[in-house]
Homo-oligomer: A and B are copies of this chain.
Amino acid sequence: MIVVVTPNPAVDVTYRVAEQRIGETQRVLDVARHPGGKGLNVGRVLAATGVATHAVLPLGETPGRWISDALDRLGLDHTDVVVSGTTRTTVTVVDDIAHPTMFGEPGPVLTAVEWDAVATAVGGLLADADTTALVVSGSLPSGTAPVVVASWVATAHGHGVLSVVDCSGAALLAAASAGATVCKPNREELLEATGATDERAGALRLLELGAGVVVVSRGAHGIAAHTADHVLEVPAVPGVSGNPTGAGDAATAGLVGALVGAGTRQGPGAPFADDTLLRALRSAAAHGAAAVLRPVAGEVDPADVHRFLTHPDRTRTPA
């Protein structure tokens, strides 16, 4: 089982309108609502591809209850930590003319007691002998001390469970310092968090802090794994176009699914063999490409994943 923590889940609402205009009343032609937040996308992709997963998330007020009900409908196992604030909603307005406009609510501020309750829930699941990995993915609610992520990573390692962290900013640095098995930012997040001007320098900074390996997703430019002495790269699946939202989360799902293999535990600190990392990068690229083909983040067709995995000649390994 892979435990997936979403620190700041969201109700993702998409409004289709005829044409976006400022200062007018616009009739919404179509409404879609999905449970969102990067961790939930990771968990849904894992579940869609048959990997046992369990989501942990703080949820508050009506939007929180909606997410809980939606996860039940999707059949995703989840532990809700009920908080007093209101879970955020994001509203994305789309038409066929302009780029989408996204309105992001700030989300709740959690109390120390509420974060303790999240840690207790995470700790209980990590103690389960079936748990093979911890994934932490997505932003932290504003005002959250990054140490919460470090503490989950430390708890995982205490149970011999590997950790994969896709956060940004101070939370990413805290995860690296805690020795996260894999830090998996995208390129922009890596540069922003480390202050580096190129990807290799940024990855080395996280490795110096303590990260086991740094995997950087580059969108259409593929995905790379950085260790202290070399870089492994896999290009993106060519010729795939569609909706890139959530492709990075699907890549995380593909990565962690491959790393834990068929459920066997791998020590959190053990260095991965190159062929293991390459297999995980190929899996990440295939999952990411499959996600691009779906209109909604957090979804893949397992047949697409399989097709892209068996696609030949997509690997190169520069030094």
Residues of A within 8 A of B (CB): 13, 15, 17, 20-29, 31, 62-63, 65-66, 69, 86, 89, 91, 93, 98-106
Contacts and interface: CB of A to CB of B under 8 A. Distances in A.
Nearest to A65: B62
Given A62-B69, A65-B62, A69-B62, A106 B22 contact: no
Contacts of A89: 13
A31 B101 contact: no
A65 B22 CA distance: 31
In the assembly, how many copies of this chain are there?
A: 2
A260 to B, nearest CB: 33
Given A23-B100, A28-B105, A62-B62, 20 more contacts: A13-B89, A15-B103, A17-B103, A20-B22, A20-B23, A22-B98, A22-B101, A23-B98, A23-B99, A23-B101, A24-B99, A25-B101, A26-B102, A29-B106, A31-B86, A62-B63, A62-B66, A62-B69, A91-B103, A93-B103
28 contacts: A15-B91, A21-B22, A21-B101, A22-B22, A22-B98, A22-B99, A22-B101, A23-B98, A23-B101, A24-B99, A24-B101, A24-B102, A25-B101, A25-B102, A25-B104, A27-B104, A27-B106, A28-B104, A28-B106, A29-B106, A31-B86, A31-B106, A62-B62, A62-B63, A62-B66, A91-B91, A91-B103, A93-B103
Q: Which 6 A-B pairs have the closest CB atoms?
A: A23-B99, A25-B102, A62-B66, A28-B105, A20-B22, A23-B98
Query: Which secondary structure dominates chain A's binding surface?
Result: mixed
A109 to B, nearest CB: 13
Contacts of A17: 103
A25 B102 CA distance: 4
A23 B104 CA distance: 13
A25 to B, nearest CB: 4
Nearest to A106: B28
A8 B93 CA distance: 23
A22 B103 CA distance: 10
Contacts of A15: 91, 103, 105
A46 to B, nearest CB: 26
A8 to B, nearest CB: 14
Contacts of A31: 86, 105-106
A305 to B, nearest CB: 29
Contacts of A23: 20, 98-101
A26 B17 CA distance: 18
Nearest to A105: B28
